[in-house]
Amino acid sequence: EDIKLLSVNVWDNFYLLTKGYQVDSFQALKNHTIHVPLFIGAPPYALTSYIIKAQGLNPEEFTFSFGKPFGRPKELLEKFVSGAIDTVLLREPEASFALAKTKDAVVSMNYADFWRELHPKLQKLPNAGLVVKGEFYRNHKDIVELFLDELNIASKWVKENPVEAAMLSYEKMGVSIEEAKLFCQRVGFDHALSVQVKKEIKEYIDILKEQDVIKLKRGLDEGFFQ
């Protein structure tokens, strides 16, 4: 496909949350059902499987639940807060919303910590970025560059002014001010142009390939990173 990765904007936002208990490794989760967003062929499970294997364990020995037809983050959040489930993998903003709403909820495992242990030279775990079609990029470079500049400014402002950002956004997000504040304080906003983080992205994609989550018709050439 003719697509371009322009930037990565969100990092380090995979959290294994537990309610009523706390663990620091997957070994202690064998008697719990781990609720995971999306489906078995998606990045959340791929990273989970990768970390479990890295800890010398077998993912097939664990119980996972993805929901039907797939695990919707909002529904998993609601079930976790209500107490219907006690172990869930969430990203932001749902992770912060869950922590804000649930007194006995904790972050048992931050996947970014495992990532850095496994890849000391790669300091961040990519989560979300900006992708455009190649045709749009070539025909509207001025618009693209302006949008990237504004995205960079906005990302820095939110990091520096989390309370003000929460006050401006909580109503549109449909959450309380407290939930929005926690999210804006915790979220890993960090705007980086794709050419600056090619190594991190390639490493991440290689892991997804190893986990059979994605299959590339061809390798990522330099034109993919703009």
According to the model, what pLDDT value does residue 204 have?
A: 84
Range with lowest mean pLDDT among 2-16, 56-70, 149-163, 207-221: 207-221
Share of the chain above pLDDT 90, in %: 72
Lowest mean pLDDT among 19-28, 38-47, 55-64: 38-47
- For 71-86, write each residue's pLDDT tens digit: 899 999 999 999 999 9
Supply the mean pLDDT for the chain: 91
DSSP per residue, 15-74: EEEEES---SSGGGGTTSEEE-SB-TTSHHHHHHHHHHHHTT--GGGSEEE--SSSB-HH
CB 124 within 8 A of CB 190: yes
Q: Would you say 155 and 190 are in contact if contact means Cβ atoms under 8 Å apart?
A: yes
pLDDT, tens digit, 9 for 90 and up, residues 36-58: 998 887 889 989 999 999 999 99
Q: Could you give the angle at the alpha carbon of 206 between the alpha carbons of 119 and 27, nearest 5°?
A: 55
Pairing relation of β-strands 33-35 and 3-11?
unpaired
Tokens representing 186? 């915790």
